[in-house]
Chain A
């Protein structure tokens, strides 16, 4: 079946540190991959996406590259800020059509201290 595995949190960093949150997936076909972010008390927001192998999604300093050979989509940021503190979810849709559900990982909480 389709599933997403991401590293357990919380991830605790100091401001300006480098961030990596690991995400691997299992899927049939050619999934699209996403990172969503959930700030406290809010819904999920799409952070970035990649729809085919070797695509790099990027937004707000965050990046992730779709690696088909390692079935991974790790999230990275060169210098985190306190305002990046949130829960990050890796997700996939089983095929790249508009009708498919999102399959989420368990989420990784990021805590950034000044």
Chain B
């Protein structure tokens, strides 16, 4: 158990709908990362938040958005869903102390499997 929790575990929805995925980082971790794992694209970085602020953006679609709340949990919102959005969505967290030069290990949650029908 990594200490990172994600809900729900599975989500089945229809095209055009909107869903929210939730992530609670490990206690004490300030940084949250979202990744998408799909059969055709592999594992891709979507977005990172640090202590409530967006820090880095990857291949995240405009239909997707995320935020990190004061209690440090994060939500990934996916809207106008398409069949191709079906994937496993992982959240990871790390300490990510500001100014650090050593790698802060990212701890991954179990993922949310999204199926768009």
A interface with B by C-beta (< 8 Å)? 32, 36, 41-46, 49, 51, 89, 93, 96-107
Contact = CB atoms under 8 A, between A and B. Distances in A.
Interface residues of B, number: 32
A100 B55 CA distance: 9
Main secondary structure of the interface of A (DSSP, over half): loop
Nearest to A96: B103
Nearest to A49: B103
B108 A32 contact: no
Interface of B: 2, 4, 31, 33, 35, 42-45, 48, 50, 55-56, 58, 90, 92, 94-97, 100-111
B110 A98 contact: no
A43 to B, nearest CB: 4
Given A98-B94, A99-B48, A101-B56, A107 B43 contact: yes
